[in-house]
Structure 1
């Protein structure tokens, strides 16, 4: 049975640390990582693109200062990144950016070296169903999924950098305004979204415009790898991935086998002999396909409707002529990132931590030091409504992790005007009494007739089934006694564990920004971030 690598790593499991040391916890190791990154510089070509692209965003003297620092030798970066979720997607996007900002500040204070936060826009991805929606708590009780109407979303393979929002974004914004328009700060936040999320804008443009405004005071820098001017800078990484695919995949596969032997699952499948990138045969805004070996000097395009193939020579010629037709995978992206930037640390979530556990052979092959891997900040927001409902129910937030029916039974038993047993106590009492009587009768009955043993066993089974059914009905009756309690529990579950998942992985920023204020909520997150922690914290804006 496999276990979660990130969970084991965060709790300091020696098995996990053998694959990815927790250097982020130790000041001396952090200083070493900063010193190693400070020996690398940002190329003038990359810097020119960063300055030009960031000049289009919300005015930010802090961002201009960070860009100027990045041009100086010795400056290092703390990088994070995320897909372009609608209206910024789940809350953890905000938390990752905040954690990168706070980590950059902390490293600067610890080492005395300038350190700037950089957000890597994951515009090369093509998985639209993961990003075409945003979820907010609904006044009617359940999570409300606000989504774009993109009929071809599931089949699309083109990088989302080229995907425009289209007319359905207007309806999505109207749904948000209808749901959240009465909240105290709705006008401010919804107006920000409406300015950015225009039908003619791309998903990436709108996302960047909003996130840059949210963190304008902190000077967060944005890097879009799909900028055509950056494609030639990525070409050497893609060329090596193609030409040295066999050696790289062999090394990665051996590492994955060791991870598996240690009890951890493979986060990213290693395809034997395959490069770690995608190729778009029909042009830069066309569908992208993985490459698999198809014989000497030839590659198959995985998933291509015509099972097309391409030669190595043709790939390398396309890379020379039009490098933007090549995009990275989850494993190749960090290498490109750290080839371009003097990365001291990368702030990632559980999945990315598991990616990095596989990456040591790739960094060694490229001759690059791995950055510190820092867990992102994790929060559970308890706003005034959630705290009020918790108070009325007399519950602590962790109680909402209990299955719904079990929690309702516990509350009904606790709040009954007459003492009522919990269902499990009733079941134990009834089965105990009946089993004791059957045990007492066992000897005399078998002494009378040994063939009665089967009948006794059947009776025991029948009694267990009957008692179980009775206790189930009893528990449901307890749960139904207070519909108000049930409604409050359901509403709290929508806020704290929507769809049974952690709040930060489902709910988006709009509800909290509309209720508390965009800047006020963002500042609360920044103030609560503990650098180099990764522990779950409750946030009470």
Structure 2
């Protein structure tokens, strides 16, 4: 499969913040523990070995076995779960919301990056075991973000009035969605497989967490992926000391606020802001913030109240009712998993980089942070069209107007780039400035005004000629922009919009193996693949 690579910064789709991190800018060095290179992992797992409470391994394995009890799993996944008892076993983790039918395509890239990294680590450090983990965001409550997926320009929605943690949502109403996708997917072997996966996941499982676990296992179970729903009493029991510290000392607020101030001084945009208490209270149909006022604790927009002693007792008795928010969830992950590295998207990397000081305050090892693989997939047909139209891969990442203007200039039989004329004009006016300086300085303003007027006139003429050429070359330009729209639907990266089903319909069972073969997690560049 032919591949091409583009630096993330040159795509113009990634923030300066994440690009500065990838460039290992010195001013960001204090925000992370170790940069993700294959050599740095040895120091990471040696440090994690010293700080991780290995007593939690048996709890983790028991929970996983319960959660997998009704699923048929691969022998490799079974071995991976059992290996977690071993103190020389570590995890590489990615996390994602419970998007309907996996949501955007980058769901696949996150997990593939994670699987491939564990393979690479095993080759480099054969005496250790490395398990790829998918952490389901089952306690998230933003249903509007996950209740749809895009298919060929259409949004396929699941309508539900349920509230609370989305992992608890029952799958009522998804029969109607199945009818919609059955019509959209059409006929054929690959279409039937997609329909079967949807039916088994969403109509034969009681809640969204179970449905997502089934689907992720179908896609990646054979590669040893382990899927965890952390919304479990036994796992949260391991996190009680950290939640107590958050409730009573409320140190995360100060720690993260201090880091945010550093980032803002560097001109970087923060991703999340901390609360005084970064925990939710969770029950069926409810997930609301815990707040404290004058020594009394309560659940926002409810009648639930505690004194300090009552709250701590309730936490000990019912840890499953306490849910970490975006600030505390990463800490929870690193407390209950023997984890070395978190694999995530650009936005996730930024908020993780805001959290190191809170990890240090809690005495928990901060993981390495790896930006997941990003890719653009083009078919052979699309690649051939791009070649005939002489469109370079880098040009596809230009915004629409720049893309069109560049293409018009390239295929036009007239030179519509006036940059040389403008440079020449500026040189001429430099001479006029010197002449005015030597004769009568009062003319300097008039000379400058004339310079601005003439440069503006040239630019206006250039725009008019470009517009005329666009009309004359309309058919060719439309072919170019149609291709760009196919590969960048909605003027966004393909991976942030397209659902895997579109590609599976075309490539079937070869899709995931080919991606596993061609995506390199430590490459540090955007990948372009021709299928």
Stretches of structure 1 that go unaligned for 5 or more consecutive residues are 444-451
- Equivalent in the alignment of 2:25: 13
- Equivalent in the alignment of 1:420: 414
Question: Bigger CA drift: 352-361 or 93-102?
Answer: 352-361
Q: Cα 1:203–1:421, aligned 2, differ >3 Å: closer, same or farther?
A: farther
8 Å Cα contact 1:409/1:478 also seen in 2 = no
* 2:346 aligned to which of 332, 337, 350: 350
Residues of 2 paired with 1:102 and 1:411: CA distance? 38
Residues of 2 paired with 1:116 and 1:90: CA distance? 24
1:334 and 2:330 are equivalent in the alignment: yes
8 Å Cα contact 1:197/1:206 also seen in 2 = yes
SS class of match (1:30): helix
Residues 272-316 of structure 1: CA deviation (Å, up to 9, x unaligned): xx1221124xxx123322334422x124655x3x79865434433
Stretches of structure 2 that go unaligned for 5 or more consecutive residues are 1-14, 436-442
1:125 and 2:125 are equivalent in the alignment: no
- Equivalent in the alignment of 1:387: 383
8 Å Cα contact 1:277/1:329 also seen in 2 = yes
- Equivalent in the alignment of 1:530: 520
Residues of 2 paired with 1:310 and 1:479: CA distance? 69
Q: Cα 1:163–1:101, aligned 2, differ >3 Å: closer, same or farther?
A: same
- Equivalent in the alignment of 1:67: 81
Within 5 A, what are the aligned runs for 1:405-444? 405-416=401-412, 419-422=413-416, 424-425=417-418
Q: Cα 1:343–1:374, aligned 2, differ >3 Å: closer, same or farther?
A: same
1:298 and 2:313 are equivalent in the alignment: no
- Equivalent in the alignment of 2:256: 252
TM-score under structure 2 length normalisation = 0.84
8 Å Cα contact 1:23/1:30 also seen in 2 = no
1:198 and 2:183 are equivalent in the alignment: no
**Aligned-residue offset at 1:21:** 4.3
Residues of 1 paired with 2:423 and 2:527: CA distance? 43
**Aligned-residue offset at 1:30:** 0.7
**Aligned-residue offset at 1:74:** 2.2
Residues of 1 paired with 2:36 and 2:446: CA distance? 65
Residues 422-468 of structure 1: CA deviation (Å, up to 9, x unaligned): 2x43x9869989x999x99xx9xxxxxxxx99999999888877776
Residues 381-425 of structure 1: CA deviation (Å, up to 9, x unaligned): 122233133123221122122232332343344334xx2232x43
* 1:83 aligned to which of 97, 113, 119: 97
**Aligned-residue offset at 1:255:** 2.8
TM-score under structure 1 length normalisation = 0.83
Residues 369-391 of structure 1: CA deviation (Å, up to 9, x unaligned): 21222221221112223313312
Within 5 A, what are the aligned runs for 1:268-307? 268-271=272-275, 274-280=276-282, 284-295=283-294, 297-299=295-297, 301=299, 304=301
Residues of 1 paired with 2:76 and 2:337: CA distance? 19
Within 5 A, what are the aligned runs for 1:73-472? 73-111=87-125, 112-136=127-151, 138=152, 143-150=153-160, 158-167=164-173, 169-181=174-186, 185-198=190-203, 201-245=206-250, 247-271=251-275, 274-280=276-282, 284-295=283-294, 297-299=295-297, 301=299, 304=301, 311-416=307-412, 419-422=413-416, 424-425=417-418, 471-472=462-463
